[in-house]
Amino acid sequence: MELYELSAKEAALGVRTKKFSAVEVTEACLGRADKFEGSVNAVITMTREAALERAREIDRKIARGEDAGLLAGVPYFAKDNFCTRGTRTTCSSKILENWSPTYNASAINYMNNAGAVMMGKTNLDEFAMGSSTENSIIGPTKNPRDLSRVPGGSSGGSAAAVAAGYSPLALGTDTGGSVRQPACFCGVQGMKPSYGQVSRYGILAYASSLDQVSPLARTVEDLAISLEVLARPDPHDTTCDAYDRPSFTAALSLEDLKGKRIGVFEGFESSQMDADLYGALQTAAGYCRDAGASVEPMDLPIAVKYGVATYYVTALADASSKLACYDGIRYGSHLDGPTLNEMYVNTRTACFGEEVRRRIILGTCLLTEGFYQNYYGPALKVRQRMVDEFDELFERFDAYILPTSPSLPYLIGMKETDPNRLYLGDIFTVPISLGGLPGINLSMGFNADGLPLSVQLVGQRYFDAELLGIASVLERVMGKPGVAEPGVKKSTNTHKDEGAK
């Protein structure tokens, strides 16, 4: 086994027990990136020297017999919307093209304190707005499982990095599916924790009430270890809940699903989604039953009918105010103008991409007098109805499974002309975000064309540890995704690439 194929747990253990050094692991991962980055394009900024220096520091610590941390010497990438001190943080936007923060996001500090080695900053859809990682200043990231396809998004760079073996771990942010969906497309594990588990301090916001720092990895155990490191109260973020988290790794000792009640989502016409993914959902239901769970069908009528609309009203309204600070005065790109207003208009028109501008304008309209009463107000109420719907559901179930995405990864350039269809791809992920629930994308191998299959496992809010326990039982049956050998799949049998209708 190559060092770049190790899980985070294995890498840290090997480094701590001096089976190999942190520098060796880091170099192996850097080598992987060197080999494939030209074709994958997952990374905006590579911090090679800093990573090697950091790895040497970890090795010295271990040589001195000091505790180097839970993630000692484990390479990781962070999506380029995490603030990193002295390392530029672009959000894939021209408006922050040359901006270097003076501080680290809390999540970055937690990772570093645990001994992890940051390798660089990964690609995303500009300001995390998108689900294909095509809207970026460095161009699209390609899916390591099939380079002709998108990696999903917005955390597509992080998902691709983990799939291609650039690192065993990566950080993304999930607002409406931005980690779960790329994990699904790239065939890796990804988890959006409950809202309020992980500090948002230092995350360049998209929507404050939905954004959540979310890890990507190739094993459920690595997701649990990541939460062990990341999920804690932060005095810098009052929306990050201030309570002692249970051990996320201890929850992995769950042996089977006896006594667990698992719901299987059946509120969506099988014809409306990719047959292979529908099949995967049925297979997963079988696995649950085999593991001893009682499995019942369930439905989310409100979430399915209103989820996407509610999500976009909520997220875009928030984004329109959170992105207003980019005025070109204090930081970021700046274009002059004869008046203050023209300066704003020139800067924001030239430096925000089309999708970002579309969402800011929509969000602004949604909050305008008259529209607020018709859109934002009702959206808040529907969101509460959805939370109620989930609450009722969790009286009957401990967790439920549903697809992560209605479609398999599509070809690059395929869908970006039709934003409406792009939005529909979020139908299974956004209700979970609106409910603040934890959701895990669990890989389930590949279809006949070698494209990744997966299922989404969703739990009750704050029951992240229990959900990881159930995921680990299922992973034993489904198998852990391996590292991809990036190339173009020469399949004759391309699936219908239409997604949700």
Partner 1 sequence: MTRQIVIGLEVHLQLLTKTKLFCSCSTDYIGHTPNTNVCPVCLAVPGTLPLLNDGAVALASRMGLGLRCTIQNYSTFGRKNYFYADLAKAYQITQYELPVATKGYLDIECDERTKRVRIHHLHLEEDAGKLVHPTADGRLTGAAYSLVDYNRGGVPLTEVVSEPDISTPEEAKEYVVRLRQLARYLDVSDGEMESGSLRVDANISLSNADGSLGTRVEIKNMNSLKALERALEYEISRQNKVLDSGGRIVQETRLWDDAEGVTRSMRNKETASDYRYYPEMDLAPIVIGDEEIEGYKAGMPELPWEKRERFAKSFGLSGEEVSILTEQKELAAYYEAVAAAGAPTARAANWVRMEVLRVLNELGQDISDFLVKPEALAELVTKIENRELSSTIGKEILDLLAREEMTLDQALERTGARAGRMSGDALGELIRRIMSEQPDVVETIKSGQDKKGAKLKFLQGLVMKEARGQADPKETAGLLSKFFAESTK
Task: List, as one string, the DSSP characters of 364-389.
Answer: HHHHSTTHIIIIIHHHHHHHHHHHHH
- Quote the Cα angle for 191-449-189, to 5°: 10
Q: Which of 102, 271, 492, 493 binds partner 1 (CB under 8 A)?
A: 102
By CB under 8 A, residue 24 contacts partner 1 = no
Q: Which is nearer to partner 1, 143 or 158 (CB)?
A: 158
Question: Hey, what amino acid is at 427?
Answer: I
* Own/partner pairs, 64-67, CB within 8 angstroms, 24+ separation: none
Q: Which two tokens stand for residue 73?
A: 């010497």
Question: Which residue stretch of 19-27, 36-44, 372-380, 414-422 sits at the interface with partner 1 (rule: CB under 8 A)?
Answer: 372-380
Size of the site for partner 1 (CB under 8 A): 45
Q: How far is the CB of 462 from partner 1 (least distance, A)?
A: 16
Q: Which of 126, 221 has the CB closer to partner 1?
A: 126
Q: Applying CB under 8 A, does 368 fall inside the site for partner 1?
A: yes
Give CA–CA dist 72/68, Å, rounded.
5
Tell me if 320 contacts partner 1 by CB under 8 A: yes
Angstrom CA distances, 102 to 87, 237, 402, stand at 9, 18, 41
Closest CA to 451 of 152, 211, 220: 152
- 122 part of the interface to partner 1, by CB under 8 A: no
| 423 is an interface residue for partner 1 by CB under 8 A | no
Candidates 58, 76, 75; CA nearest to 67 is: 58
Query: For residues 200 and 359, which CB has a smaller minimum distance to partner 1 in the complex?
Result: 200
Residue with tokens 């399915």: 304
Binding segment toward partner 1, per CB under 8 A, in 57-65, 219-227, 276-284, 340-348? 340-348
C-alpha 14/C-alpha 5 separation (Å) is 13
Q: How far apart are CA 417 and CA 431, in angstroms?
A: 25
Catalytic residue ranges: 79, 154, 178
Which residues on adjacent β-strands are paired with residue 84?
87
| Out of 13, 367, 424, 477, the residue judged to bind partner 1 by CB under 8 A | 367
Q: Which residues contact 190 (CB under 8 A, 6 or more apart)?
A: 155, 159, 172, 174, 179, 180, 182, 183, 184, 214, 215, 216, 217, 223, 440, 441
Q: Please, are residues 222 and 189 in contact by the beta-carbon 8 Å criterion?
A: yes
Tell me which of 369, 373, 395, 490 binds partner 1, using CB under 8 A.
369
Is 200 among the residues that bind partner 1 (CB under 8 A)?
yes
Sole window of 8-16, 66-74, 367-375, 479-487 interacting with partner 1 (rule: CB under 8 A): 367-375
Based on the shown chain and the rule CB under 8 A, indicate whether residue 203 belongs to the binding site for partner 1.
yes
Among left, alpha and beta (phi > 0; psi -120 to 50; other), residue 75 is: beta
Residue 101 binds partner 1, judged by CB under 8 A: yes
44 binds partner 1 (CB under 8 A): no
Q: 376 vs 390, which CB is nearer to partner 1? A: 376
Residue 327 interacting with partner 1 (CB under 8 A): yes
- Round to whole Å and give the CA distance between 194 and 206: 17
Which string of x and - marks every residue 224-263 that binds partner 1 (by CB under 8 A)?
-----------xxxxx------------------------
Is residue 217 at the binding interface for partner 1, with CB under 8 A as the rule?
no
* Contact window for partner 1 (CB under 8 A) among 50-58, 336-344, 440-448, 466-474: 336-344
Contact residues: partner 1, CB under 8 A = 82-83, 89, 91, 96, 99, 101-103, 105, 200-205, 207-209, 235-239, 317-318, 320-321, 324-327, 329-331, 340-341, 344, 364, 367-369, 372, 376, 380
